[in-house]
Amino acid sequence: MKNYKKNILITGGAGFIGSHVVRLFVNKYPDYKIYNLDNLTYAGNLQNLTDIETAPNYTFLKGDIVDAGFLQKIFAEYQFDSVIHLAAESHVDRSISNPLEFVITNVVGTVNLLNAAKNLWLSNKQQSPSENLFYHVSTDEVYGSLDNGGFFTETTSYDPQSPYSASKASSDHFVRAYHNTYKLPIVISNCSNNYGPNQFPEKLIPLFINNIRNNKPLPVYGKGENIRDWLYVVDHARAIDDVYHEGKNGETYNIGGFNEWKNIDLIKVVCKVMDKKLGRKEGESEKLISYVTDRAGHDMRYAIDATKINKELGWKPSLQFEEGITKTIDWYMNNQAWLDNVTSGEYQKYYTKQYTS
């Protein structure tokens, strides 16, 4: 078997952001062995990775990070020297209706991974700690809401406002605790809202693209005045690459798009581009907008200060939003079979059957 320079476990690699990270690492680093661990829940889809599924340096592993025994087994078998941890429950509305599911996956699952890494790396006397890294990918939502201007920095106090963000904040704290207590080599990154191809259509942009295509209502929380910083997912994958290779042990890096939009203004841009793509009269899709009762604990504004990653690692976004949203809409319009399979659940039935003995 080929000797690879790195044995990297990427969790949640069949999901939206994870699939872009897996693709980047498999294609860019043929001398790395990439293991994609995903439980293939509703948002994990191996159709996201058909272009690299036969690559010699890629292996898919189906499993749940909540299963501690399973994790101990695969760490012993495959001898991972690094983890890039993206597996998480991430939809705020789902966290409000079922907080415990988020605690189990995002907190307990992360601690299980930390234990598996610690048990392998810190007991292996032949391995230098410099060869190992636990990279935890988190969110800007752990910082709470910016109601009075300013930006989130790496030293901003945590103030999570939803069960989802609380579960991610807790997992961040556990990662730092394992670094401080056990000297486990770690880095953490907290990123702003992502958009782009392969995102499950419960999130705003793909949901609205699909609804416009099918002339369904566009539900907007409150008055649509909540502000988010948006980053094209491929740029996030590039940032993860940079942090993995150049980030300093124990450090946190904020990743943002320098690209703030009110929800309602972003939605109107999507409507405008979709009208053009569908050959509709300009303004036609805006008629689908309907304002609904605001979500509980809805943060008003997120905005990332990405100065640190820019100065220390040289990373910055490659796309302006107008270009990125057009590329995104083009992808969904050209991959309507993918979108229909995802919304109908057909892909999940297929992969559940394939990976169930």
Separation between Cα atoms, residue 176 and residue 157, nearest integer Å: 14
Return the axis-axis angle of helices 263-278 and 321-334, rounded to nearest 10°: 50
Task: Annotate 195-223 with DSSP letters as a single string.
Answer: ESTT--TTSHHHHHHHHHHTT--EEEETT
CA distance 357 to 353: 8
Backbone angles phi, psi at 33, to 5 degrees: -95, 120
The rounded distance, in Å, linking the Cα atoms of 311 and 140 is 19
Contact (CB, 8 A) for 162 and 91: no
Q: Which two tokens stand for residue 135?
A: 């990279």
Q: Which two tokens stand for residue 29?
A: 């680093």
Contacts of 342 (CB under 8 A, 6+ apart): 45, 200, 201
Q: How many Cα atoms within 13 Å fall on the side-chain side of residue 338?
A: 19
Looking at residue 269, the DSSP 8-state letter turns out to be H
Q: What are phi and psi of 54, to 5 degrees?
A: -105, 10
CB 188 within 8 A of CB 250: no
Catalytically active residues are 140-141, 164
Rg over alpha carbons for the chain, rounded to the nearest Å, is: 20
Answer whether 80's CB lies under 8 Å from 118's CB. no
